[in-house]
Structure 1
Amino acid sequence: MAKKVYSFDEICRDIVAKKFLPVYVLMGEEPFFMDQITDLLIDNVLDESEKDFNQIIMYGADTDATSIINAARRFPMMSNYQLIVVREAQLVRDIELLSNYVKKPLSSTVLVINYKYKNLDRRKALAAAADTSGVLFESKKIPDYKMPAFIVSLMQQRSISIDMKASQMLSDFLGNDLSRLNKELDKLIILMPEKGLKRITPEMIEENIGISKEYNNFELIKALATKDILKANRIIQYFEKNSKNNPIQITLSVLFNYFSNLLICYYTKDRSETGLMTALGLRGTFQVKDYILGLKSYSAMKVFNLINEIRITDAKSKGVESNSISDADLLKELLYKILH
């Protein structure tokens, strides 16, 4: 069987269409996508009436390869399939022995192996066998700068629209913690009909999640892009008064991503809106405008130096040669260097 690289969307579409493969090896640093695929298989492979006899959930710390293989080689009872889910499979010490089954799996068994927070060695037998007989899916962390577009896409899958600024606010506040993001989005979705809303807005996020629509990292970048000193300082002062919801590490990450991307813009031949969007992998025109403005406000050498200053501030915020300087003072010092 020819190998195929399956995307998350392709896997989900096939599962919903009842096109099941005998083996799903799900691995990688991001548990969110693995959990989504596993839950989708649990919802679609078997009817509720078939699950008592044909669905087995196993845990890596409590099982071994031989037990998993023996379960997988059974035939379903009064059903076309049996579903076996191995959670926390990275704790199965002899997991490579599963390759003996995965090389020739039963078509009536759907075996799901959740190998979280790390990857199987692709050079070894299990990964190679899964890549041939089923799905070998690597669940990767989404880079912070791609999170706003991902949030929009995630909501589109649920047939719900979200304001681009609202998407950026969530991204800045939650980073790329997808499990936490999903919980916050579920909360907002439940509230939408109660408030008579058809779109998730910045006001809704401010009211229900506690992120200010005026004083946040998204607005800080806009202020820095135009060197709006007054607005930038007001935002930093707000962060100081509301430090719990505005930790310095998130702000530094946002600043690092912005100025790193701005440096890329200087090495991009096509500096048109479309050219910069392509170079930076952006999907929304609202994002690229801050880079176009930044190119006018900062020289390439200034940007290069600022990236180093952000790294130094990050180290100081973690206690490296900081002399007990507060996070607020570190941020004020960095802001001065950026704007002057």
Structure 2
Amino acid sequence: MAASTQSSFNSVRNDILQRRFKPIYLFMGDESYFIDVLTDLLSDTVLTETEKDFNMLTFYGVDADVNLIISSARRFPMMAEYQLIIVKEAQNLDKFELLDLYAKNPMPSTILVINYKHGTVDKRKAVVKSILKTGEVFESKKLYENQIPAFIQSWLKERGIGIDEKSAQMLTDYIGNDISKLIPQLQKLEVSLPEGEQRITSALIERNVGISKDYNNFELQKAVISKNVVAANRIVDYFDKNPKENPMMATIAVLFNYFSNLLECFWLPRKDEQSIMNALNMKSAYFVRDYMTGLRNYNAQKVMEIISDLRTFDARSKGVDNVSASQGDLLKELVYRIMH
């Protein structure tokens, strides 16, 4: 359980693809995407379409009876190696803990899949401990934003599609870590690829998602880091004219993440690229140069002042100590303070 969501997901997924099934699975957590993918994979892998007619049952927690689930799980499959039972929305299942009676001694010919979304079962409960001994427990956590670019690249790679780091970061800055919103955009980009092309570019994203390849938080951050006042002002002016597509809250979040990481870099014994990658848990060296540039153009005292300003302007953008200044005016003032 100490492994990351992505690595744990890959491990469970690979076992299912290799038909190394467990008799009972508990998929739980706040990120529904990984739970749904693993459940669908089991549904597609365990039984043939013909076998499903007699050997697949689906229960829904809100109206299911736990005793009926248990008695169904103890039956033998009909003309198949396994029977598959899926319990969806198990967080609404009355007397959930009674599943421990079955989890202690599950049927090897039954594969019981329990989907527990929007939260987790207390790992101290007997039912979880029993499933850990006889089956598989996977906790699907929300990915942090700094994990999303790698997720985007991995998702596309499985489909034979490439994407550069800048484009992956553009999508992350625009969509955030909400995978339910991200996947439809990736699917849209997949079908929008010109025939014969297998690489997503910033130009393709601009045409199909609506993110400007020249005027976005990624480019603003680059301008701020390099202290390119002309470019920063041009982007801020664009944001001011297109506030719905470029909310100030998202811009502040991007800048806060960068400068918080930059501050950590000042305390490193060694400030070379590899040390920065290790300290910030970065998978690619692509963005390390931004931190090397930041270390040259800013000092630790200034970065602490910037972080304080970001907090202040975040509050002002929400109406705290601000009567009339627009989001655009606030952003212009904030960027000026950062760069001067």
State the TM bucket, normalised to the shorter chain. Answer: over 0.9
SS at match of 1:286: coil
**RMSD over aligned Cα atoms:** 1.7
* Distance across 2 between alignment mates of 1:105 and 1:318: 53
1:8-47 superposed Cα distances (whole Å, 9 cap, x missing partner): 1111111111111111111112111111111111111111
* Distance across 1 between alignment mates of 2:2 and 2:322: 50
Deviation, 1:223, is 0.6
Question: 2:153 maps to which residue?
Answer: 152
Closer, same or farther in 2 for the Cα pair 1:285/1:4, shift >3 Å? closer
Quick check: 316-325 or 169-178, which moved more?
316-325
Question: 1:246 maps to which residue?
Answer: 246
Deviation, 1:323, is 2.4
* Distance across 2 between alignment mates of 1:267 and 1:11: 38
SS at match of 1:70: helix
Question: 1:223 maps to which residue?
Answer: 223
Query: Which residue identity does 2:44 align to in structure 1?
Result: D
Query: Which residue identity does 1:178 align to in structure 2?
Result: I
Question: 1:132 maps to which residue?
Answer: 133
Question: 1:187 maps to which residue?
Answer: 188
Contact persistence 2:23–2:135 (CA under 8 A): yes
1:112-139 superposed Cα distances (whole Å, 9 cap, x missing partner): 1111121111111121111111111111
Query: Which residue identity does 2:244 align to in structure 1?
Result: K
Deviation, 1:324, is 4.8
Quick check: 238-247 or 277-286, which moved more?
238-247
Structure 2, unpaired ranges of 5+: none
Instruction: Give the alignment of 1:1-340 within 5 angstroms.
Output: 7-192=8-193, 194-340=194-340
Deviation, 1:4, is 9.9
Closer, same or farther in 2 for the Cα pair 1:73/1:324, shift >3 Å? farther
* Distance across 1 between alignment mates of 2:97 and 2:329: 52
Deviation, 1:231, is 0.8
Quick check: 216-225 or 90-99, which moved more?
90-99
Query: Which residue identity does 2:90 align to in structure 1?
Result: A
Contact persistence 1:145–1:257 (CA under 8 A): no
Contact persistence 2:160–2:198 (CA under 8 A): no
Quick check: 28-37 or 67-76, which moved more?
67-76
* Distance across 2 between alignment mates of 1:271 and 1:124: 46
* Distance across 1 between alignment mates of 2:129 and 2:100: 8
Query: Which residue identity does 1:313 align to in structure 2?
Result: F
* Distance across 1 between alignment mates of 2:120 and 2:274: 36
* Distance across 2 between alignment mates of 1:325 and 1:154: 41
* Distance across 2 between alignment mates of 1:124 and 1:324: 53
* Distance across 1 between alignment mates of 2:72 and 2:316: 53
SS at match of 2:94: coil
Deviation, 1:161, is 0.9
* Distance across 2 between alignment mates of 1:199 and 1:330: 37
Deviation, 1:184, is 1.1
Deviation, 1:218, is 0.9
1:137-182 superposed Cα distances (whole Å, 9 cap, x missing partner): 1111111122212211222222221122111111111111112111
Query: Which residue identity does 1:206 align to in structure 2?
Result: E
* Distance across 1 between alignment mates of 2:107 and 2:297: 62
Closer, same or farther in 2 for the Cα pair 1:46/1:241, shift >3 Å? same
Number of equivalences: 337
* Distance across 1 between alignment mates of 2:205 and 2:246: 15
* Distance across 1 between alignment mates of 2:225 and 2:195: 35
Structure 1, unpaired ranges of 5+: none
Deviation, 1:195, is 4.2
Query: Which residue identity does 1:336 align to in structure 2?
Result: Y
Deviation, 1:48, is 0.9
* Distance across 2 between alignment mates of 1:317 and 1:104: 57
Contact persistence 1:262–1:294 (CA under 8 A): yes
Deviation, 1:264, is 1.2
Deviation, 1:240, is 1.8
* Distance across 2 between alignment mates of 1:293 and 1:48: 57
Query: Which residue identity does 2:156 align to in structure 1?
Result: M
